[in-house]
Amino acid sequence: MSDNNLHNYPDRDGFFGEYGGQFIPEHLIKIMNDIRDSYFEIRRRKDFQEELEKLNKYYVGRPSPIYHAEKLSAKYGGAQIYLKREDLNHTGAHKINHCLGEALLAKFMGKKKVIAETGAGQHGVALATACALVGIKCEIHMGVIDIEKEHPNVVKMKVLGATVVPVTRGTQTLKDAVDSAFEVLLEDPENNFYAIGSVVGPHPFPMMVRDFQSIVGKEARVQFKEMTGGLPDYVLACVGGGSNAIGLFSGFLNDKEVKLIGVEPAGYGLHTEKHAATMTKGTKGMIHGFKCYLLQDEKGNPLPVHSVASGLDYPGVGPQHCMLKDIERAEYVSATDKECLDMFMELSRLEGIIPALESSHAIAYAVKLAATLPKDKKLLVNLSGRGDKDVDYVASVLGVK
Ligand SMILES: *Cc1c(COP(=O)(O)O)cnc(C)c1O
């Protein structure tokens, strides 16, 4: 790695080291490069920057606060745990950060319809919201298993005016929803815009979604200094595709003393086949038009994956994370379904904050790590979303009366 400034990625062709790129047919490369060029154009424009800034402040409610979880920290007796409250954003998660950007870009490009996949339904709701605001049609593809699990989000999308397309093929979850949405994009690429829901897919999406999410890290760095007089010792976030993690990491990439930790879903355990711990157990491969670590069979087909958190249920992972792992700038660990569910209840009852099942993975690992550290160390965890969408499911699994 010749370049010490980690902000100088991806390269011209969309590579983070050897990961990322555009492994897609010729005609799709043109579509992606149109999006890239338009993105570079609006990014430079003052009116776009001002529009996005205004919406972030008055519509999303940014900056989201950082909260010192003192009771949680005290209970585990070690380092201090701070939460970046992305759950307090309009629509209840970090996803609105990139959805607003994508919807504005689609409108600027003169597109007629925005298409996307969704897992937990959070991307779907955030995108349907952004499309309602911007005034553009929205079509969301969703696996039927997720539709059942995340019923309230499905209703919200419909209320917001989006069309929800149930996906019944394959594992009927996130990966198949991506395939289904991609097919519709190809039917009319001139008028359709595919808004990818994480830092995955072909260039420019891992870069573009990262840029829109980097507001989380930029804010957090300033806020943390104001609150504590210094930087956190550890910065943690859950990793599905990796957008909330890279958003927060972006604020600290060049602060070598800050350790970056991504927490993956270990499902029933890493010794089973029911997990989605791509960084930990995957090998280099190709999915949805880009190169990354991948949970795959001998033929290179993505394996079925499992997590109690629908939003983490993806066999690939963002290319920038793959690079950060290889150069050892970030470390990737995991938390099981059980640890996640326990933390869901723990944070709810200790702090009065119901976390998303996705975010609970990061907090579960943070608490274990904190217990091994002295009291003056500080951990900043991305609370990527609120758990309202998950309460019925958790209550039924844990038998909450
Ligand atoms: C979608 C989602 C995630 C996972 O996506 P990333 O791209 O890995 O951030 C995490 N947390 C919440 C609340 C989500 O909705």
Q: The domain spanning residue 23 has which CATH number?
A: 3.40.50.1100
The one-letter code for the residue type at 314 is Y
Residue 83: CA count within 13 A, CB half-sphere? 26
Burial category of 217 from C-beta neighbours within 10 Å (exposed 0-12, middle 13-18, buried 19 and up): buried
Confirm whether 45 is domain-assigned.
yes
Give residue 26 CA to ligand 1 midpoint distance, Å: 31
| 328 within 8 A of 351, measured Cβ to Cβ | no
Ligand 1 centroid – CA 384 distance (Å)? 6
Same domain, 143 and 183: yes
User: Which pLDDT value is given to residue 2?
Assistant: 45
Question: Is 384 in the active site?
Answer: yes
**Ligand 1: which of 150, 213, 293, 358 to mutate, judged by most atoms within 8 Å of the beta carbon?**
358
Type of residue at 172: Q
Give the residue from 205, 233, 255 where a domain finishes: 205
pTM for the predicted model, two decimal places: 0.95
Q: Going by CA atoms, what residue is nearest to atom 14 of ligand 1?
A: 311
Residues 26 and 141 in one domain: yes
Strand partners, 335: 265
Cα 69 from chain centroid (whole Å): 23
Same structural domain, 253 and 285: yes
Tell me if 3 is assigned to some domain: no
Q: What are phi and psi of 81, to 5 degrees?
A: -110, 125
Q: Look at residues 251, 366, 264 and name the one whose alpha carbon lies nearest to residue 313.
A: 264
- The residue whose C-alpha atom lies closest to atom 5 belonging to ligand 1 is 240
Ligand 1 midpoint to CA 358 (Å): 6
Ligand 1 atom 15, closest CA? 122
**Model pLDDT, residue 178:** 85
Residue 183 to residue 285: CA distance in whole angstroms: 22
CA of 18 to the centre of ligand 1 (A): 24
The residues with which 294 forms a beta bridge, in sequence order, are: 283
Maximum distance among all Cα pairs of the chain, rounded to whole angstroms: 57
**Is the same domain home to 245 and 352?**
yes
* Eight-state DSSP code of residue 309: S
CA 175 to chain centre: 15
Q: How far is the CA of 312 from the centre of ligand 1 (A)?
A: 6
Pairing state between β 15-16 and 19-20: antiparallel
Q: Can you count the helices (H) and strands (E) in the chain?
A: 15, 14
Task: Compute the distance from residue 168 Cα to the ligand 1 centre, in Å.
Answer: 23
Q: Are residues 129 and 248 in the same domain?
A: no
Task: Examine residue 244 and state whether it is found in any structural domain, yes or no.
Answer: yes
Residues 182 and 316 in one domain: no
Could you say which of 205, 236, 257 is where a domain stops? 205
How open is the CA angle 174-178-180, to the nearest 5 degrees?
115
Q: Residues, the chain, total? A: 401
In a domain, 129, yes or no: yes
> Residue 3 has what pLDDT?
54
In a domain, 364, yes or no: yes
Q: Are residues 34 and 152 in the same domain?
A: yes
Which residues of the chain have a pLDDT value below 50? 1-2
* Ligand 1 shell residues, CB under 6 Å: 93, 95, 120, 122-123, 198, 238-245, 311-312, 356, 358-359, 384-385
Ligand 1, atom 2: closest residue by C-alpha:
311
* Residue-wise pLDDT tens digits, 259-317: 999 999 999 999 999 999 999 999 999 999 999 999 999 999 999 999 999 889 899 99
Dist. CA 356–CA 387, nearest whole Å: 4
Catalytic residue selected from 38, 73, 84, 95 = 95
95 is catalytic: yes
Q: Is 2 part of a structural domain of the chain?
A: no
Let me know if residue 11 belongs to a domain.
no
What pLDDT is stored for residue 4 in this prediction? 67
Mutate which of 208, 243, 324 for ligand 1 pocket (most atoms within 8 A of beta carbon): 243
Same domain for 28 and 47, yes or no, is: yes
| Distances, alpha carbon 340 to alpha carbons 74, 246, 334, 347, in Å | 19, 21, 10, 11
Task: Please tell me the predicted confidence (pLDDT) of residue 263.
Answer: 98
Index of the ligand 1 atom closest to the CA of residue 209: 7
Q: Report the pLDDT value the prediction gives residue 182, as an integer from 0 to 100.
A: 86
> Which ligand 1 atom is the nearest neighbour of the CA of 240?
8
Residue 7 forms part of a structural domain: no
Q: Are residues 277 and 311 in the same domain?
A: yes
3-class DSSP assignment, residue 243: helix
Assess whether 142 and 197 both reside in one domain: yes
Closest CA to 316 of 384, 242, 261, 266: 242
CA distance 46 to 41: 10
Determine contact, residues 80/68, Cβ cutoff 8 Å: yes
What is the number of domains present in the chain?
A: 2
What gap in Å lies between CA 70 and CA 310, rounded to an integer? 29
If asked whether residues 385 and 279 sit together in one domain, one would say yes
Query: Which ligand 1 atom is the nearest neighbour of the CA of 199?
Result: 7
Residues 172 and 291 in one domain: no
Distance, first Cα to last Cα, the chain: 54
- CA 265 – ligand 1 centroid, Å: 12
Closest CA to 205 of 239, 153, 232, 241: 241
Q: Which domain holds residue 227?
A: 62-93+214-398
Contact (Cβ atoms closer than 8 angstroms) between residue 332 and residue 279: yes
CA 67/CA 386 separation, integer angstroms: 14
Where is the domain boundary, 183, 205, 227?
A: 205
**Catalytic residue chosen out of the listed positions 198, 250, 334, 384:** 384
Q: How far is CA 251 from the centre of its chain?
A: 16
What is the chain's Cα-based Rg? 19
- Pairing outcome for strands 234-238 and 192-194: unpaired
